[in-house]
A and B are shown apart, each in its own frame.
Chain A
C-alpha cells in the first residue's frame, strides 16, 4: 500500500520509527495503537518488545503494596507503582505519595476480588503477586503495571502449611518466567517446586541443599539467590539456583566478614548486593561486581543511622541509580507500620514518608 506523504514530512522507514517509539513509555505506545495497523500490532512483536525492554531498563519504578485501611494491617493491600523520578521529587516530609491511577491494580478501590498478600518478585517489569482467592486459597497471578494486563490466577499447589516462600525469575535459555516455591512440611521434609508460565503446572525440583534464611529469593540474570547459613563452615553463603539447569551452587560472601547482624541480599544497580547491620550504628551495603567471584565484592555504602531505643529498625534497600549516587531505601517502623523512603543524592539525605509496607520491589 502506498503511504500517502504529507507535503512537509520526509518518508520515515519503519525501522527508524521503531527506534524512536521504543523510547516511549508503554502508556503512550498503547495510545499509538490507533495510528495505524502497523502500530497496533507493535506491542506484540517480539523484536520490538526486546528493543523496548533494553531501553526501558533505564526507567525503573517502585512497586509498593499500599494499605487501604491502616487499621487492618494484614489484609487488603492495593498495589501501586511509583516512578523513581517521582519518588526523588518528593522533597518534604509528611508528604504522602499519590499514585497515578493508571498504574493501580484495581481501578475501583472497593473491588474486593483481589486481596494481595505479597509481591513475590518482579522481572522485566512484570510483577508476580501472591493473593488470596474468594475460596481462601493462595494463588499467584502476574501483573504488568505498564500495559495493565493481568494473567489468570494460578492455584498454588496443594500444600496446607507454610507455603509463603516464593521467588520469581526469568530463564533466559528457555525464555520462560518461573516461580520457585519452598514448602516446609510438618513431617520435616522440605519440598521445592517450580512453576513455569506457559506450562501452567508445578514440577518438583531438587530440594535446597541449605535452608534459606529469608523468604525472598533475589532474581539475577537467570538465577534466583537466597541467603543461607552454612552450618558446617559456620558462615553465611548465597545459595544460587540456576533457572535453566535447575541446579544449585554456593556463592561466597566478602572475605573477612565477622559476625553480621540483620544480613540480607538484594538486587541493586543490576548487581547482587549483600547488606547487613554494623554494630547497630551503621548499615553496610556490599556489591558483587562479577557474579560468583568472591574477590569482586566491594563495599558501596556505610550509612550511619540513629538507633532509637526499644525500636527494631528494619531496612530494605530498593533502588540504586546507574551512576551510584542515588540510593533509595525503605525503613519500616514497627509501631506505626509506616515506611520512610530516603534517597541520598550526593549523600545528602532527603526524606519522604509513605504509608505502606516494607515489602516493596523495584521493577
Chain B
C-alpha cells in the first residue's frame, strides 16, 4: 500500500477517521495539501488517527482520490472533468463544503468553479434553494428588479 517514492522523505501514511466512524489512509504528502489535517497532525502527532468530525465516509474517498492524483502531478482538465462527471449538484456541494473544512485549496478552487459552471443559466429559484437562502423581497420589489434587468434573463434553461 505504501508507495516507494524516490523524492519523498518518507512514504508514511496517515489515518483519518470520518464523522461516521470509518477510517481511511492517505499519504503524508497528500495530507500536507489539506491544511486542517496538517494542523491536526502537528498538534496530535502523525501516529494517531486524525479525527475529522465534519467529513463523512461518502465524500472522503473522493477527496483522497483527487489528492492521490495531485501528488503525482497528474491532475489534468480531463481528469477533473471525469472526476465531477457523475456527481449531481448536491453531491458536489457536499464535496465543496468538505474541501473547505479540510482547507484543501486546490480542490476547493476547482469545485467552486465547477459549481459556478453548474449554476450558470440556472434560475434564481434554483440558486436560492441550492444555497438555502430565503427570498426577502416583497413580490412587488422582485418583479420590479426583474423588469429592470429583463435583458439579463434571456437564455435560462429549465431546472432539472
Contacts and interface: CB of A to CB of B under 8 A. Distances in A.
Contact of B132 (A12, A21, A40): A12
B149 interface: yes
Specify which of B108, B127, B129, B153 lies most central, judged by the most chain A CB atoms within 10 Å of its CB. Answer: B127
Interface bracket on A: 20 to 34
B113 A31 contact: no
A9 B120 contact: no
B142 A34 contact: yes
A20 B120 CA distance: 11
Given A16-B100, A30-B149, A36 B120 contact: no
Given A6-B129, A25-B120, A37-B137, A31 B112 contact: no
B153 A31 contact: yes
B132 A19 contact: no
B84 interface: no
A12 B127 CA distance: 12
Given A10-B97, A16-B97, A102-B151, A38 B116 contact: no
A8 B145 CA distance: 28
A17 B131 contact: yes
A32 interface: yes
B76 interface: no
Contacts of B117: 23
A35 B133 contact: yes
Contacts of B124: 31-32, 34-35
Contacts of A3: 132-134
A102 B133 CA distance: 28
Given A1-B136, A12-B133, A20-B115, 12 more contacts: A9-B130, A10-B93, A10-B97, A12-B132, A16-B100, A20-B116, A24-B116, A32-B127, A35-B128, A36-B135, A37-B136, A102-B151
